[in-house]
Each structure stands twice: as C-alpha cells, then as structure tokens.
Amino acid sequence: MVALAQYLAICDKRFFKSAIAELRKSELVDTGSIKRIYDREVFLVNSKDNQKTNPDLALEDFEFFDFVVKIDKAIVFSKNYAEIAKSVSEAVDKGKKFKIYVKKYESESAERAKDIEVAIGTEMERMGFLADLKKPEIAIFLVFLGDKIFIGKSAVGELERPKIIDWFRPSNVDDKDIGLNRASFKIAEAFNYFKVNPSKIKVAIDIGAAPGGWSYYLASKDIKVIAIDNALMDYETLCEKFKVIVISKISRGSAESIQNTIIGNGLKDVHRKNLSVSNIEIHQAQTMADLLKSYDIVQIKAPAEEAEKYMAYLKALHPGLLAIDINVKPKYGIETAKKFSQALDPEGIIITTLKFATMDTAGTISYAKNSMEDVANAIKIKKLPHNRKELTLFAYKK
C-alpha cells in the first residue's frame, strides 16, 4: 500500500459549496479525509490510495481551488525563526535555489507575512541554502493558521513562475505590468493559470475595456489592443505609458466634446500628447492596421453591438486574443464571445468572464461550455483568485 499524501487546499468562500462538491466528485481524493480547518476557505484532504501510485493533487486541474499544495510538515507555531527555518530545511533540497511565500490566517504571529519571509529566508541562507527571489527552483509555502504552520513546496520549471499563494499581495505580482485596477489582476491570473505566451499574440480585442485594466495589462506585454467600450477609459493612467486613440461615433463635434471631457476629468498636459481623439470613419481594414502602427491602444468608443460592423476589419488584423469582461448575464456574455470569435484565426485564444446574477454555478458552467462548443475547442472554466461572483472561461477558436 502506498502512503497517503495530505494536501492543503484553499478556495474562495463564495464558491465553498462548489469547491466541496468538486472534491467529493474527484476520483483522486479520499472523500472521508476532507476537513475544513478555517472558515469556508482552507481544507485538509488526502489523496486516494489506488494501490499503485499516489496521485499528486497539486497537479490536478481543480476549477474552484485557488491553491493546492502537498504538506511536507505541520509544526507548532514558534516565534523562533531559526527553529522554523530548520523544519523548512528538512523538506528542501539544499542544492536548489529557493523563495519563500507566507500566507496567514488568524495566526498567533503578529509579524507581517513579508517580514516572516525575509526572516526565515535569512536563517536558511545562514544554513547554506541559496535564495533567489527572481528565478527560484523551489517555491516554499508556509501557511500560518492558528497555532500551526503548514509547510509545503513546489518545483519551479525554468520557464515557469512559482505558484502564487496570495494574489492579493502586490509583492507577489509584477506591479509595473498590472497596477491599474482589480480587473488587471484577473487577466494576469488568466495568462498565468492557462499558460498564455504573450509573445505569440500581436493583436488583441478587448471588449468591455473601460476603464482599461485589461488593455493596460495587454499593452504592457507589447500586444496591440483594439479596446471596445462606449465608456471613457482611464486615459490619465493609460497615457503615462501608452499612445491611445479614441474613435468616437460619427457626429460633428463629438471628438472635440470627448477631448474636453477627458481634459476636464484631469488628464495632465504632460500626458496629453499620448492621447488622440478622432471621429474618423473606418471604411477599410487598412485604416485599422495603420492606427495600430501609430498607437498601442485603439479604443472604438461604441457599444459592442455597434462595433460588430467592424468585424471584417478586425478579422483582417489576425488578432490572437479575444478578451471580454462585461457586466452582463452569462448568456449575453457568451453570445458576445461567439460573435466576436469570428474575428479570430483558428487556434486564437478566447478569455471571457462569466458573471453570476444568481449563484447557479453548475447551470452556468454547463450552459457556457455547451454554447461555446459551436465555435471553440479545449474549453476550460476556472475560478481565479480575483474573480468575485464570476468565473473565467478559456478556449481556443475552432
């Protein structure tokens, strides 16, 4: 008989029922071992003994868990960092470069998580271990919960980034690439979780773009963005780094009106040179292509249903990504994704959020997957850390 492994699993308590149901349905989980140890968020669970191998639950593609790690040790809380470092060192290969990540849940420790990381890391370096905060080979996770410390680790591939146990700490993400608002984190998490390679995407369509969180992140990855939204974006922040043009509805004076509104809302003179507003009509695909040569973000200031008239021109740009984050019911969001997926080449990526009017999670997932099968392959749905009452759908265009 193979010895059972124990895991720490963390979910968003808003999806607590779905997360528990997912564990109970898994053929790899010993359902009798499921134990809730903090609120509706943190669980202990054993892998199932299948008489041959011990499956690694940390590698499983759970839809509703933000983080799963195998527990190497669970120790009693101590204020002595040297003692904690000794326990950690016993679970880590000394030849591997490491980085420590700490998450606290009502712990007896009064120290900040970041300070604990530094203190324990320093103790481990004194013991001869080599820290590497930029390219670690081993990510060490310490979860402080009550009077316990749970210790786990994960290998980090050469081209991978470590698992992130706490996406809500700015130090654990790339601030200069995100930084605009919560929406920026959602697209960053989607790229990370679904292993999207931004270097393979030249042009993206961002529907529901305002105030600009997703467009900001995509432009930071050197992706040209067609942003579609009738609302004004956060031009003040966007124009600090990027050149932006706003194409308004075709009416006399509309461009000047928008320009004055933007300036009135506080766009500084120093950044105004990075913003253009125009009421040019797009009559041909070349116009759109030419705009992308001069600007990082082209906003079509119109509702998505009006922007559909540009579909042929969008398709001519060969966008590699369709990104949608609009505050509508799932049915309308999926229909929007299906319509604009026409602009993608085969194997183009679709990322869209599914908003919940009610918490009919199972029904929403079933509807979304069945509907998207008409236009997409390899459909996956995931509750990402910065999703609230929503899930993220990922797929490839057929």
Residue 163 placed within a domain = no
* Chain mean position to CA 75: 32
Residue 55 has which token pair? Answer: 């499956």
Residue 323 has which token pair? Answer: 């990104």
139 and 179 inside one domain? no
**Which pLDDT score is estimated for 180?**
62
Residue in 40, 99, 42, 39 with CA at minimum distance from that of residue 69: 42
Distance CA 265, CA 335 (A): 34
244 and 117 inside one domain? no
Residue 307 contacts residue 271 (beta carbons within 8 Å): no
Residue 242 placed within a domain = yes
Residue in 105, 91, 92 with CA at minimum distance from that of residue 143: 105
Question: Domain boundary residue among 155, 185, 217?
Answer: 155
Residue 348 has which token pair? Answer: 């183009």
- Listed in sequence order, the residues at least 6 apart from 211 whose beta carbon sits closer than 8 Å to its beta carbon are 180, 181, 231, 232, 233, 234
Residue owning tokens 């000047």 = 256
295 and 384 inside one domain? yes
Residue 162 has which token pair? Answer: 């470590």
Residue 381 placed within a domain = yes
Distance CA 158, CA 302 (A): 43
68 and 133 inside one domain? yes
Q: pTM, whole model, 2 decimals?
A: 0.84
110 and 212 inside one domain? no
The DSSP bridge partners found for residue 376 are 397
Write out residues in the chain with pLDDT < 70, as ranges: 1-3, 49-54, 158-162, 167-180, 249-259, 261-272, 280, 282-285, 357, 359
Residue 165 placed within a domain = no
Residue in 113, 84, 93 with CA at minimum distance from that of residue 154: 93
Identify the CATH number of the domain in which residue 145 sits.
Answer: 3.30.2130.30
Distance CA 170, CA 198 (A): 21
89 and 30 inside one domain? yes
Secondary structure (3-state) at 109: coil
Distance CA 7, CA 151 (A): 10
**Which pLDDT score is estimated for 283?**
64
Distance CA 302, CA 262 (A): 16
Distance CA 129, CA 94 (A): 6
83 and 43 inside one domain? yes
Q: Which domain holds residue 34?
A: 6-155
**Which pLDDT score is estimated for 177?**
54
**Which pLDDT score is estimated for 2?**
47
Residue 203 placed within a domain = yes
- Listed in sequence order, the residues at least 6 apart from 185 whose beta carbon sits closer than 8 Å to its beta carbon are 167, 173, 178, 385, 386
Identify the CATH number of the domain in which residue 326 sits.
Answer: 3.40.50.150
52 and 130 inside one domain? yes
308 and 340 inside one domain? yes
**Which pLDDT score is estimated for 165?**
77
Residue 200 placed within a domain = yes
Domain count for the chain: 2
Residue 161 placed within a domain = no
What angle, rounded to 10 degrees, do the helices at 182-193 and 213-220 form?
50
Residue 238 placed within a domain = yes
179 and 109 inside one domain? no
Residue owning tokens 């001519």 = 316
* Cis status of the peptide bond prior to 330, with omega within 30 of 0: no
250 and 335 inside one domain? yes
Residue in 158, 160, 155, 149 with CA at minimum distance from that of residue 120: 149
Residue 318 zone, left/alpha/beta (φ > 0; ψ -120 to 50; rest) = left
53 and 82 inside one domain? yes
